[in-house]
Amino acid sequence: MEEIKKLKKILKEHGISLEEAARGMGISFQTIWKWMNGKHVPSKLALVQLRKFIKKYEKREALTGQKPMLKLR
């Protein structure tokens, strides 16, 4: 699924954890983990939240014109 590929890319490039992504989407960590590992696909409602999350980060990248720096922990 294209959205899952985009999510993985965003998480890696921005240094975002699954927990942070889950909070940002209002979805459980376990649900996102299952998507990332191919155990489940997003429901229609979850897909809406996922697309909003992706759009937020794609818009941020488009506005700055730069690839994001990795977050240091």
Domain ranges of the chain: 2-61
- Topology classification of domain 2-61: 434 Repressor (Amino-terminal Domain) (1.10.260)
CB 23 within 8 A of CB 71: no
> pLDDT tens digits, residue range 14-60?
899 999 999 999 999 999 999 999 999 999 999 999 999 999 988 87
Entry pTM: 0.79
Q: What percent of the chain has pLDDT over 70?
A: 88
Tokens of 53: 């999350």
- Measured between alpha carbons, how far is 12 from 48 in angstroms, rounded to an integer? 21
pLDDT at 66: 60
Mean pLDDT (the chain) is: 87
